[in-house]
Structure 1
Amino acid sequence: MQRQEQKQVQQQQMTQDLVQRLPVLEADRLALIFRLARLARHNANIHLGSGGVEWIEDVASAFEEKLFTQIREGGGSEADKELRRKLVLLLDHRGLLPDTNEVLAERLQVDVAQIEQARQALLFLEPTGIGARTERECQYRHAIEHDDPRVVDVFDAIENGVSHQQMAIVLAVSEEELAGLERIVATLPKRPSLYEETSQIFPEVEVRYEDEKLVTTWLSPELDSTRVGNDREARWWMTSLAMRNETLREIWGVIESRQTEWLKGKLVLNPLTRRTVAHLIGKHESTVGRAIQGKFAKTENGIMEWRHFFVRSTSHGHSPFMIKRTLAELIQQETAPQSDQTLAHELARYGYQVTRRTVTNYREELGFGNSRERERQLWKG
């Protein structure tokens, strides 16, 4: 009996550990470096070995000081403020605090009530949503601070499963107004703004085609193994980053083998699904989905998001990407606009068996008008 209980506790700890590692897998390179730079300020054993981005490390060094200043200038006893500062140090790379009050209370050796009180105090700091338990709670904090108070009402109604029709009646708004409010709720930030957004992209991997072969260079962050030692926190991060990087390399290995033509500079993408990758690397499909989000690769065709390497196939096994590319070329090269049916016949000559209706859908997605509209444009010059 005792052995069974011990086994259950071990399984629970393993599950919690995996749950804690998932955000590391999901995080993009910039977010991870931001988090690691914060940790390095308090733990000399955590030091980036590779993959660093200097400016985000500088931003990270000032991030906590801004929060500490707000805590210092706020209300409460010195003991209350110290607990809030400790919670700030436990914020994850998203700026959230997903651990339960019970876990935090045990870790910091305080009462659960004290943790909840400190957590609530963090929610009033800037940036909005800092210290929220979940992304949904972060959205709620943004809803509270929205200029239109009805946004909170719509948020609460959606959370409570109130129908669209009932919301319109209760809030006394038109269908158009309600649709606008629902759009606002759907686009509320899921995470606090930890640093100013940048249009610059930081890829995880760079692939060049040199001397008839692909040369792959990994840019993912890693810790300096010579600095880790026996430090528990540093070793957890080193293991988590190693697991993350191993998973990314396994996924990329499949992408590279299936999309070799694209990586060599040709505009060709072959059908590939997450399920296929999951089967080949022996992981769950959801793990593949989590891993590829927000990840980029620098290729001969420019920087590309990993998810764009995944393209479904048609019933004949062709990638819609390739069909659309060929369709666009046919339309751009035509001297006299052709009907969708004629374009379908032309595509068949290239081995793409599609219906006229499919051609119409693809043509509209590409932004081309029908044959009459294209003829008028041609006539106008």
Structure 2
Amino acid sequence: MPEHSLLQSQELRQEQILAPQQIQSLEILMVPLLELQERLSRELAENPVLEQEPAASEPETEEHGSETEEHSEEQHSPVQAEGDNDSMSDHEGGDDDVAQLIHLAESWRDQLPSVNTRSSFSSDDEERRQHFFDSLAEEPSLQEQLLEQLRLSDISSKKAHLAELLIGSIDETGYLRSHLADIATAGSASLAEVEDALSLVQAFDPPGIGARNLQECLLLQLRRQGREHSPLAQLIRDHLEDIAKNHLPAVAKSLKVSLNELYAIIEDLKTLSPFPGSASAPHNPVFVIPEVFVEKKGDEYAIVSNDEQMPRIRISNLYLKLLEDPNTPEETRNYIKAKLGSGKMLLRSLEQRQSTIRRIAEVIVSSQHDFFENGVESLRPMTMQQVADKLGVHETTISRAIANKYIQAPNGLFEFKYFFSGGYQASDGEEFSARSVKEKICDMVAKEDPAKPLSDEKICENLKALGIPVARRTVAKYREELGIQSSHLRREF
């Protein structure tokens, strides 16, 4: 048997770890404004030395206002600004830290906007706005709507149980995603009983619910309309795949109708819903707040930070006065210092976040002037590395700073990432971004002859004629990303 023994050894190595302040700074840099507001609310609740400045329409109380004025006068005096005040000299250690904290509190307050920079809301506006949010109600899910219809049905308990299992297997688009045999096993029922329960569920609203494939979904909708024997029903039963492949002449011949009549039937087909559950599913819109606004001033564009959405945080004067008071117990002073240190880290992280985002926006505006003037076709290629080199930061910093953040421009609301894409250089030296190339492909397809649609090779030749060297496979890739079908599927007979 091999012998086992314990060995003790020493190893020297260097490891780079992030300090808590760095981690907090990165987290604050990454979050968008809405999440930042929530984070700052938590910080305000956890750190008593931080407080939010009241809005311009909410004057401070007389007591608090006089205290603020008194403390402001004290802090603005040259003697105390230099940290030579007698009361400050009486502190036992940490005098420099206290002076720095007080100075930081004042400097941060000076950087905050005195009023909302873009607009101010009256109390009536705020009341109407709050009433709007209070009136919002959560929409019932598709499953909840189906279960409500099931509860109104006069059926046996076993059939209701099987119907509940079926409803639970219906996805948000309205399709049944489980096999009937699995439902029968789970419900301890026969396959015939499950099929009977499925017929009940398929009779619920919206029409087409509970289908197992597209063909059954469309036929269920026609059956609800009493058109299960119409030419459209025959087209769906026998030629749905041929329609998808654009084999229209063969389909017209099989149905013994003209191409014009077939086109009319296809137009009728487009009135049916391929995803019946989507119309009844609750809509969950994504709310975003732009970080910056781009405003035109003369012939140039300027950046305006969205300061009105940024909570105005300050260091509480009450705790600063307690810290300056030599009679404050040492335990209390240590607690206040710890919380002030945490607040100092937060304020610096916020200042760094706002500065970084604004600097990135300024680079975007200076580089994409033609885009703001003329639209997508004038969008120039730009990479994160190029912006990072201009700002003297790492590429990952740019990536974190623009994540899930938006910029409001005169021509629309854009995600920061929208402006970052590769591109091509034309023969005359002009640069085109990938998005502008896609826009040109869309224009070409929109203007093509439907009877002779442009192939990928032809689009590639047209782009090269404009001086844009794009490969055919790249054209095919862009076309698919744009949701444009291939030429043989776009052809009209």
- TM bucket by the smaller chain? 0.5 to 0.7
Q: 1:214 aligns with which of 285, 289, 301?
A: 301
Partner residue of 1:233?
Answer: 342
- Distance between the aligned counterparts of 2:467 and 2:369, measured in 1? 21
User: After superposition, where does 1:133-152 map in structure 2 within 5 Å?
Assistant: none
Equivalent AA in structure 1 for residue 42 of structure 2 = R
Equivalent AA in structure 2 for residue 213 of structure 1 = E
Partner residue of 2:62?
Answer: none
- Distance between the aligned counterparts of 1:51 and 1:295, measured in 2? 25
Partner residue of 1:201?
Answer: 288
User: After superposition, where does 1:9-24 map in structure 2 within 5 Å?
Assistant: 15-24=19-28
Partner residue of 1:324?
Answer: 438
User: After superposition, where does 1:146-185 map in structure 2 within 5 Å?
Assistant: none
With over 3 angstroms needed to count, the CA separation of the structure-2 counterparts of 1:48 and 1:207, relative to structure 1, is farther
Equivalent AA in structure 1 for residue 445 of structure 2 = I
User: After superposition, where does 1:62-211 map in structure 2 within 5 Å?
Assistant: 199-211=286-298
With over 3 angstroms needed to count, the CA separation of the structure-2 counterparts of 1:375 and 1:313, relative to structure 1, is same
Q: 2:32 aligns with which of 28, 33, 52?
A: 28
Partner residue of 2:238?
Answer: none
- Distance between the aligned counterparts of 1:272 and 1:330, measured in 2? 25
Equivalent AA in structure 2 for residue 269 of structure 1 = L
User: After superposition, where does 1:252-331 map in structure 2 within 5 Å?
Assistant: 252-264=361-373, 266-267=375-376, 268-314=378-424, 318-331=432-445
Query: Which piece of structure 1 moves more, 304-313 or 336-345?
Result: 336-345
Q: Deviation string for 1:262-310 (max 9, x for gaps)? A: 2335223211111111111111111111111111111123211111110
Matched, 1:341 2:457: yes
Percent identity reads 28
Partner residue of 2:467?
Answer: 351
Q: Deviation string for 1:230-258 (max 9, x for gaps)? A: 53333222111001111112211211111
CA contact 1:204–1:218 (8 Å) conserved in 2: yes
Higher Rg of the two aligned structures: 2
CA contact 2:24–2:349 (8 Å) conserved in 1: no
Secondary structure, counterpart of 1:318 in structure 2: strand
CA contact 2:293–2:303 (8 Å) conserved in 1: yes
- Distance between the aligned counterparts of 2:396 and 2:421, measured in 1? 17
Q: Shift of the alpha carbon at 1:19?
A: 2.2
Aligned length: 227
Matched, 1:40 2:44: yes
Equivalent AA in structure 1 for residue 303 of structure 2 = T
Q: 2:477 aligns with which of 361, 365, 368?
A: 361
- Distance between the aligned counterparts of 1:306 and 1:49, measured in 2? 29
- Distance between the aligned counterparts of 1:50 and 1:29, measured in 2? 19
Secondary structure, counterpart of 2:342 in structure 1: helix
Secondary structure, counterpart of 1:21 in structure 2: helix
CA contact 2:292–2:305 (8 Å) conserved in 1: yes
Secondary structure, counterpart of 1:41 in structure 2: helix
Query: Which piece of structure 1 moves more, 336-345 or 270-279?
Result: 336-345
TM-score of the superposition, structure 1-length normalised? 0.53
CA contact 2:303–2:358 (8 Å) conserved in 1: no
Query: Which piece of structure 1 moves more, 273-282 or 230-239?
Result: 230-239
- Distance between the aligned counterparts of 2:361 and 2:394, measured in 1? 15
Query: Which piece of structure 1 moves more, 265-274 or 216-225?
Result: 216-225
Secondary structure, counterpart of 2:381 in structure 1: coil
CA contact 1:203–1:296 (8 Å) conserved in 2: yes
- Distance between the aligned counterparts of 1:328 and 1:309, measured in 2? 19
- Distance between the aligned counterparts of 1:246 and 1:312, measured in 2? 26
Gaps of 5+ in 1: 1-10, 53-146, 148-196
Gaps of 5+ in 2: 1-14, 57-167, 169-283, 321-339
Equivalent AA in structure 2 for residue 223 of structure 1 = R
Q: Shift of the alpha carbon at 1:320?
A: 1.4
Equivalent AA in structure 1 for residue 379 of structure 2 = L
TM-score of the superposition, structure 2-length normalised? 0.41
Equivalent AA in structure 1 for residue 305 of structure 2 = W
Matched, 1:223 2:312: yes
